[in-house]
Structure 1
Amino acid sequence: MSKQHFLWKAVDINGKVRRGIWADTGLYEVQRRLRKAGCFPVWIRSTAPVKNVLFPARRNFKWSSFARRLATLLEAGIPILQALEMMSSNERSSFDQDQLIILKNQVESGSDLSEALAHLTPSPNSFVLSMIKAGEYTGNLGKVLGEIADELDLELVYQRKVKAALAYPALLFTAVILVLYALSVWILPMYEKLFQSVGVSELPFLTRVIFVGSQKLPLLLGGCLSLVSVSLLVVKFSNSNQWRIHLENLLGRAPLIGKVYHLRDLVQFSRMLSRLLTAGIPLLEALRLTAGTLRSPKMLALISNLVVNVRQGKRMSPILSASGIFPREGAEMIGIAEEAGQLDLMMHYVTKIFRRDLEEQLQGLMRMIGPLLTIILAGLIGIVAGGVMLPIFDLSSQLQ
């Protein structure tokens, strides 16, 4: 069998995220090599040729819909092979139907569902595979699949909320750029010619600055547009995941948006850890799997520290409290849960607190940025209008 190149992301025994590219015969073999090296795979993807990047031949499999449908059938008492057969026969999409047929054949040949899913391309992430494996071991596969679907849906909801919070400011910023471009290309040159035709000898300083700026602005906007286009092409043809991480780290340090991204990481950390612990996955492995879902360098360093200390038999709450990035209230709740032996249940309540804080921060961001950009837009238009009206006032006073 010919070998393919696979990009992978994994978490080592110290909780640190590792990335690389390996050549092997299949995705499952890469996953087995990572496990043998003491790493927990987060995702493994086959490298695609350039033509597939430009013209993707297939779309991603809908893991949330798959998990929810299969959970419903299993909880209704239908055997897994028959459930997969029903799902594949009723699937309208040819790509999804092919994936389900491959999955059914793997399970029919004796593979566990988690092992069969690892052979699909694209395969689900490590969180989904680990949850399914835990469900197979505990005999609660239907319930675990329902929790996976809920988790994936929640993740999608919060991604949309963050994007929605940024979409309105981005729209207003685009409106500012378009207004400035229209003024510099059509409106201001018309007034400049008008003042020259009536013989205005010396324009006010503000008017001269506005006219000079209007001459340079189209070139500046064109340069910025070219830079953005080149950046998008670089992201498209390179490791876009790395660029996305750098962009999110940059946004995470922004004054207003940074708090939103930090709370999002806290929600994801507590929610993932709660789901994994509830599914029966040991704390050490759950922490390492949770690290694979985060991108913030501070949160990754915190989880790496947690992994090292938990392996030594220490509790998490003192480390979280001393980290400076984890809220003290959440750390105290986790400390109480560690003493009572109910960490999985307490992480659920910690998630609710962080989720409420995130929603409040998103609403506050929307209330703040919208009026701020509106004021900036009105101020720019006012300055331009004032600069244009000053020579008119001077000219009218001279005529009188």
Structure 2
Amino acid sequence: MSRQRYVWKAVDQNGSIQHGVSTGDGISEVQTNLRKEGYFPVFVKSTLNWKNLFFSTRANFKWGSFARRLATLLEAGIPLLQALEMMTFHEKKLTPEQEQWIIVKDRVESGSDLSEALALLNPAPNSFVHSMIKAGEYTGTLGKVLSEVADELDQEHVYQQKIKAALAYPLLLFSAVILVLYVLSVWILPMYEKLFLSMGGTELPFLTKVIFAGSQKLPFLLWSVLIFVGGGLLVLRFTSPDRWKTRLRNMLGRVPLIGRVLRLRDLVQFSRMLGRLLSAGIPLLEALRLTAGTLRSPEMQELTNRLVLNVRQGKRMAPLLRASGTFPKEGAEMIGVAEEAGQLDRMLHYVTQMFRRELEEQLDRLTRMIEPALILFLAGLIGIVAGGV
């Protein structure tokens, strides 16, 4: 199991209150390490909780909100340290999140860069947010860069919500199918079976026997599948929080239409991240390295790593993108033109829009196919039961 992060408050040898974040296998280990360093622990609290486990998808939304508030304060001319203090004490009750922000403020006050101090938070910023903030510090445009980060994360959050909304109705229909199967097998069909057996004297039709036999095993089968799948996901979530999504994505990637949607999403993420990083003034080689760390698909990660090698050798990206078979040729041609014109960041913005439109079309097609299929399956199921009983 991976080591956890713990937020702590302690008194040093001078009697001053210190804050920090440490990793360890338990609270006792962190307390022991603090005492060895000359601190007297006041409290040690794990940053891992059920909200972090099951609602980590809100991390982008939280970082977008933070970036927007801090950018507004900085662009208004408020110094960074004062802005962080205003963000830390905007509520009367001290929450665990505010305790972490106090640590960030203390680190910045002691001379650390904001990008270094933010790495102590949980959830920590992803490589995109961290790199953009670092670029803003380097160029002296932290407020402007934070505003761009907020725009990007807000757009990503809205787009993820659109995807969830598009899949909500098919998931609702699928849940209805499972519920109908369970109700039929637990209450309706056993009642008819008892009625037919009480009549006696007449042998039941073959279809009726099959339906009654299936209804006896179906509840156990449904619960077994639910426990197996749910338990497996929980085990992966607790033991390998960074790998369980990759495994699930690899399984879904083998499904034809769903795999296409996932590949388009990776293409959108690649072009969007790379374009934003280049616009922030980050060199192409470093931007490619950072982009590779944000991708979910092993194929896109491998392609991006090969691009890093090509760029390091002074080669252009377009030839490798054309020959990869992973990146669409139309997008590769557009990037080739942009490399010749020196407008790669602007062209990547247009490429992102192109991939995003295609992704929306694929999602719409997927939902249009799933909905009638589930409705027909549900109607056929009810028809078979009605005909057999």
What TM-score, normalized to structure 2? Answer: 0.82
Q: Which residue matches 2:286?
A: 285
Q: Does 1:63 align with 2:52?
A: no
CA contact (8 A) 1:103 1:117 kept: yes
Query: In the TM superposition, what is the alpha-carbon distance from 1:197 to its structure 2 partner?
Result: 2.7
Could you tell me which runs of 5 or more consecutive residues in structure 2 were left unpaired when the two chains were aligned. Answer: 6-20, 28-44
In structure 2, what is the Cα distance between the partners aligned to 1:300 and 1:236? 22
CA contact (8 A) 1:334 1:346 kept: yes
CA contact (8 A) 2:4 2:46 kept: no
Partner of 2:242, secondary structure, is helix
Deviation readout 1:150-199 (Å, 9 max, x if unpaired): 22222222333333333322221121111112112222222222222333
Q: Which residue matches 2:359?
A: 358
1:199–1:269: structure 2 CA closer, same or farther, 3 Å change rule? same
Partner of 1:167, secondary structure, is helix
Q: Does 1:270 align with 2:271?
A: yes
CA contact (8 A) 2:261 2:362 kept: yes
Q: Which has the higher contact order (CA 8 A, sep 6+)?
A: 1
CA contact (8 A) 1:235 1:243 kept: yes
Partner of 2:296, secondary structure, is coil
Moved more, 339-348 or 49-58: 49-58
In structure 2, what is the Cα distance between the partners aligned to 1:72 and 1:94? 23
Q: Does 1:206 align with 2:226?
A: no
Moved more, 110-119 or 136-145: 110-119
Deviation readout 1:34-78 (Å, 9 max, x if unpaired): xxxxxxxxxx99466599598559898732111111111111222
Query: In the TM superposition, what is the alpha-carbon distance from 1:216 to its structure 2 partner?
Result: 1.6
CA contact (8 A) 2:292 2:304 kept: yes
Query: In the TM superposition, what is the alpha-carbon distance from 1:369 to its structure 2 partner?
Result: 1.0
Matched ranges for 1:319-334 at <5 A: 319-334=320-335
In structure 2, what is the Cα distance between the partners aligned to 1:227 and 1:119? 36
CA contact (8 A) 1:315 1:338 kept: yes
Q: Which residue matches 1:86?
A: 86
| Root-mean-square deviation over aligned CA pairs | 2.6
Could you tell me which runs of 5 or more consecutive residues in structure 1 were left unpaired when the two chains were aligned. Answer: 8-43, 389-400
In structure 2, what is the Cα distance between the partners aligned to 1:385 and 1:57? 45
CA contact (8 A) 1:144 1:279 kept: yes
Partner of 1:241, secondary structure, is coil
Deviation readout 1:113-164 (Å, 9 max, x if unpaired): 2122223344312221111111111121111101111222222223333333
In structure 2, what is the Cα distance between the partners aligned to 1:155 and 1:200? 66
In structure 1, what is the Cα distance between the partners aligned to 2:234 and 2:378? 30
Matched ranges for 1:99-248 at <5 A: 99-248=100-249
Moved more, 284-293 or 60-69: 60-69
Query: In the TM superposition, what is the alpha-carbon distance from 1:91 to its structure 2 partner?
Result: 4.1
Partner of 1:240, secondary structure, is coil
In structure 2, what is the Cα distance between the partners aligned to 1:317 and 1:54? 43
Partner of 2:261, secondary structure, is helix
In structure 2, what is the Cα distance between the partners aligned to 1:103 and 1:378? 58
Q: Which residue matches 2:252?
A: 251
Q: Does 1:370 align with 2:371?
A: yes
In structure 2, what is the Cα distance between the partners aligned to 1:320 and 1:252? 21
Query: In the TM superposition, what is the alpha-carbon distance from 1:279 to its structure 2 partner?
Result: 0.6
CA contact (8 A) 1:53 1:236 kept: no
Letter paired with 2:246: I
Q: Quick one: percent identity of the two aligned structures? A: 69
Letter paired with 1:68: R
Letter paired with 1:79: P
What is the number of residues matched between the two proteins?
A: 349
Q: Which residue matches 2:72?
A: 72
CA contact (8 A) 1:53 1:237 kept: no
Query: In the TM superposition, what is the alpha-carbon distance from 1:277 to its structure 2 partner?
Result: 0.4
Matched ranges for 1:32-71 at <5 A: 46=23, 49=26, 55=49, 62-71=62-71
In structure 1, what is the Cα distance between the partners aligned to 2:295 and 2:201? 62
In structure 1, what is the Cα distance between the partners aligned to 2:69 and 2:204? 72
In structure 1, what is the Cα distance between the partners aligned to 2:190 and 2:85? 69
In structure 2, what is the Cα distance between the partners aligned to 1:302 and 1:347? 16
In structure 1, what is the Cα distance between the partners aligned to 2:216 and 2:208? 13
In structure 2, what is the Cα distance between the partners aligned to 1:364 and 1:47? 47
Query: In the TM superposition, what is the alpha-carbon distance from 1:366 to its structure 2 partner?
Result: 2.0
Partner of 2:256, secondary structure, is coil
